[in-house]
Amino acid sequence: MGLWRSGFARDYIILAIVSILVCSLLSGAVALAVDGYLQNTVSRLAGDYGEYDCLIQVRQETKAAAAETLQDIVQKHLPGARFKEGVTVAGKVNYLFSIPKDKENEEVYENLRGWLQQVPGYAGLTYIIEPSVTAANVHPGVRETLRREMTALPGVRFVFANGSNLIAVLDDPLKAEEAYDKLNRLVERYRLLEVRFPFGYSLSRPEQAALEVEEALEHMWGAGKAKDVTVAEQDEEMNSFLTTLQEMKRFLLSYATQVEMELDQPGAVIAGDILTLRPEATGEGGGSGGETGDTERPVLARVTAVADRKATGIIEEGDVAQLIVAPQAGDNEAAESSPAQVQAPAQAAVPALVYSEDGRPLGRAEVKSERRQLMAAIDEGIELLGRLDVLAEEAEKAAAGAEETLKLFDAALLQLETLQEQVRQINEELTTKGNVNTGELLISALLTNLLRRVEPESDVTQLKDADIQGMQKQLRAMADQLTAISEVDLQLIAEELKRIRQHLPDLSDGEIGESLHLIDRYLDGQVLPGDRLQLLIAPEVDLEQSAALIKGVLEYQGVSLFTTPAATVSPDARTTLFNVLGQVRATIAGITAAALVILLFILDQAVLFSTWRLLGWRTGWLAAGAGALFLTAIYILCGAAIPGAGWPHVLAVGAILGLVMYWLAPRLSPVNADEVEAGLALGLSTAQVLREIVIPAGRPGLLMLLNRRRMVFG
């Protein structure tokens, strides 16, 4: 083309170079400004480098009490330490805590978490000690060995444990990168080989199996190249969690509604089967499958155990209340005579019919709701306590009346004994007289008959032998007990029972069954002792070559073999954060570069593309090339790096941007066709038309600025 031979090519190259340099500088400046702002923000929030050693999180509502307790901890354990309140995030206040340099050692840092447990609202501790490097997720089998080797590294002051991490505190920030590299090389010497068995497979002697695998690997690769570090138990936190789940399962099992089934035929069900429970129909024709006619969800029970024709299970969907048959209109008399049927879930077993999932009748069942019985017992206890106070008072009065009656009875016995003796004496005098007349004989006979009535078969003697004082003593003791009962705060006990009832889990039978099912599924997914082996292996041990050997030693081909690092290395928290900020800076630079390329095309390139399209030149390829060139060059020069975007992606995006701008150019920067045709008619070359007519009429930009020195009629 004459356009490029006229010197316009040189002008375009100069424009491209200047545009790339300017846009690169602008992109880098924007990214650096954002990065500087973020770093200054971090410094304001977390202090300058090395100023603070840890962040202590406490709940916002306990901030005042937490500050007082922190001050007490400083005075007691760390004189000279200081802390200040930082930012509040998600309802948690972050306190910046600084430990005096003369107090810094592994013992202080490892005890700090324990001291902070007494802080009200304590929610966590994060170490930001600088300079330091961290070996994270260290396997327990290599922890002590790695700790000794880390301590021996040059520039390391001390090493302390933070959970499963080992943090090495350095004495010089300039040695941080060197220590990071050395620790990486140290950790690379340790790899963890895990031999995992399928679920349900359990080794009878895991220790012996691990020893045999270790010896086989050492025989193959050399002594000391493999070491058994099998962790037979879960870590402490996971073990506590699983124990809690087991206890929760045990409670839910005792709380769940139990189903005891009597099957028509043995072997009709197995453990794990889901069966349908329907209420027993009443009256004539009620046995036709137990259809209730309602639209409620069916009551489903999961079988947990089977023994011949008996099976047990728990309700997994629905509720036992659905199995209660309401009394019919003509059954009022029966309902009144047997009210327990209406309250069956709380007092007795509810009868039900058992069906398979496809509707086949299997037998009968009794459904016992321990949960409802417990709530009914608590309700009855609360009602009884409400009446016990009155009953105790009435019983106390009755005991006092009984004691008074015993006193009167004792006095009556004494009078009766005296009267009996007097009658006996009179009778003896009458019978011993020599001359007894008829009247005296009659009196003697009457007295004898009276004695017989008063003392038949020694009844009076038995009454006299009664322990009246002992009975009175027992009544007084009973009265004291009743008095003690009346002095007890029965209302408080009733309130506590009500509180217990309110705090009992408010779960339906179906929710309890589903919870048990979920717990079982989770527990089944855990790795149990004996179903995996772990060995620490040297870097030269090849997994592919060792796989056949290990499977042969174990005499089992179904094992899975894989290796993982025994630990991972990371720099201190600030360095890690600044690395993230560096990635943010590079991403912002890439985004800014793309935005500036678009702006560059709108201001400078669009007017050229519009002219070429007006002249009928097919220069779409040139627009795509320009877009790829500009974006890639600016992307590289400004240090941009968008995650997941490589050079092919950048080139493709630049080319697409160029094509899009090429097709949008007439709209973005329209050219006056009449002026162009007039210039060409006057004998001006295409380059002169661009320099003298098109570019001066376009948008202000670098192209217009550089074009001024080439204008003749400007």
Q: What whole-number distance in Å separates Cα of residue 297 and Cα of residue 508? A: 13
Check whether 504 has a pLDDT greater than 60. Answer: yes
Strand order in the sheet with 560-565: 226-228, 532-537, 191-196, 560-565
Could you read off the pLDDT of 181-228 as tens digits, one per residue?
A: 888 888 888 888 888 777 656 666 777 788 888 888 888 888 878 887
* Contact between residue 646 and residue 671 where contact means Cβ atoms under 8 Å apart: no
Q: What mean pLDDT do residues 433-442 have?
A: 56
What pLDDT is attached to residue 709? 64
Structure tokens at 94: 């972050």
What pLDDT is attached to residue 172? 81
What pLDDT is attached to residue 293? 42
Degrees to nearest 5, angle at CA 627 with 626 and 631? 115
Q: Please tell me which of 9-13, 66-70, 237-241 the model is most confident about, judged by mean pLDDT.
A: 66-70
Give strand pairing partners of 646.
Answer: none
Question: Which segments of 294-437 does DSSP mark as H helices, in order?
Answer: 332-337, 344-347, 370-432
Q: What is the mean pLDDT of the chain?
A: 74
- Residue with the bigger pLDDT between 443 and 664: it is 664
Check whether 285 has a pLDDT greater than 50. Answer: no
Measured torsion, CA atoms of residues 427, 429, 433, 437, in degrees rounded to the nearest 10:
-50
Check whether 607 has a pLDDT greater than 80. Answer: no
Could you read off the pLDDT of 147-171 as tens digits, one per residue?
A: 888 888 888 888 888 888 888 888 8
Q: How far is the CA of 181 from the CAs of 175, 189, 571, in angstroms?
A: 10, 13, 10
What pLDDT is attached to residue 571? 80
Check whether 440 has a pLDDT greater than 60. Answer: no
What pLDDT is attached to residue 282? 42
Which DSSP state fits 669? S
**Is there a cis peptide before residue 79, judged by omega within 30 degrees of 0?**
no
Q: How many residues does the chain have?
A: 714
Pairing state between β 310-317 and 257-263: antiparallel
Q: Please tell me which of 361-365, 366-370, 660-664 the model is most confident about, judged by mean pLDDT.
A: 361-365
What single-letter amino acid sits at 393?
E
Q: What mean pLDDT do residues 437-466 have?
A: 55
What pLDDT is attached to residue 643? 76
- Which class for 6: exposed (0-12), middle (13-18), buried (19 or more C-beta within 10 A)? middle
Could you read off the pLDDT of 50-88 as tens digits, one per residue?
A: 778 888 888 888 888 888 888 888 888 888 888 888 878
pTM of the model: 0.47
What pLDDT is attached to residue 457? 46
Q: What mean pLDDT do residues 279-289 have?
A: 49
Report the percent of the chain where pLDDT is more than 90: 0
* Contact between residue 275 and residue 357 where contact means Cβ atoms under 8 Å apart: yes
Give strand pairing partners of 196.
Answer: 532, 560
* pLDDT band, very low/low/confident/very high, at 137 (cuts 50, 70, 90): confident
* Contact between residue 546 and residue 206 where contact means Cβ atoms under 8 Å apart: no
Q: What mean pLDDT do residues 11-35 have?
A: 84
